């Protein structure tokens, strides 16, 4: 076998392992599944990569993140098959306009402590844009590539995701079991 192929792949993909892990970790909520998913995604990426010998692949990061994202979806469907049929509905999740929400003081320690929990409760479609944009600082264009939706959708989804977070932070009590321990 050609080791140059492996080297080429490693040079393109391995630098983005942190980004892949960050996405998987915040989406799955645990380190073990995150690691399995990233490993699986990297392997899939490699198999795909071999099929495109010599072809310019462009942004290795967006590419790997796309595969990670899709792997998380598959993982989620395996765990909760009942949710597999329920496609994400932009309208259903749009929640109208949050006009007169009370103020949220983001400087308060207590509010910040609830951020992680609030994020964990968002539907994946909202959470992934928050993770990609706010945590990973990716451009709208890259996010658009990763989630396979137009930039306009990325922006409106981000907006709605933040509205949701805001409401959760205002009405604090609704916290679930999922939370994110910092590694």
Q: Which residue ranges make up the site for other proteins (CB under 8 A)? A: 1-3, 5-6, 9-10, 14, 17-22, 25-26, 31, 35, 38-39, 42-43, 46-47, 103-104, 106, 112, 115-116, 119, 130, 133-137, 158-159, 162, 165-166, 180, 182-183
Q: How far is the CB of 14 from other proteins (least distance, A)?
A: 7
Distance CA 160, CA 158 (A): 5
Distance CA 51, CA 48 (A): 5
Q: How far is the CB of 59 from other proteins (least distance, A)?
A: 17
Q: How many CA atoms lie within 13 A of 47 on its CB side?
A: 6
- Paired tokens of 129: 């844009």
Q: How far is the CB of 167 from other proteins (least distance, A)?
A: 12
Please identify, using beta-carbon distances, which residue of 21 and 76 lies nearer to other proteins.
21
Residues in the chain: 183
Please identify, using beta-carbon distances, which residue of 25 and 69 lies nearer to other proteins.
25
Nearest to 16 by CA among 67, 55, 50: 67
């Amino acid at each position: 076998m050609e080791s140059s192929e492996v080297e080429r792949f490693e040079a393109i993909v391995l630098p983005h392992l942190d980004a892949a892990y960050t996405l998987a970790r915040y989406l799955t909520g645990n380190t073990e599944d995150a690691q399995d998913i990233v490993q699986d995604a990297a392997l899939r990426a490699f198999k795909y990569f071999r099929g495109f010998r010599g072809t310019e692949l462009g942004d290795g990061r967006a590419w790997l993140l796309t595969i990670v994202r899709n792997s998380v979806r598959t993982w989620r469907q395996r765990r909760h098959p009942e949710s597999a049929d329920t496609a994400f509905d932009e309208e259903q999740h749009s929640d109208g306009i949050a006009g007169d929400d009370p103020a949220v003081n983001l400087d308060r320690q207590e509010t910040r402590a609830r951020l992680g929990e609030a994020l964990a409760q968002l539907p994946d479609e909202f959470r992934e844009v928050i993770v990609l944009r706010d945590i990973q600082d990716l451009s709208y264009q890259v996010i658009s590539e990763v989630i396979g939706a137009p930039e306009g959708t990325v922006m409106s989804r981000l907006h709605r995701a933040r509205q949701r977070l805001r409401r959760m932070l205002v009405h604090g009590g609704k916290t679930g079991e999922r939370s994110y321990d910092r590694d």
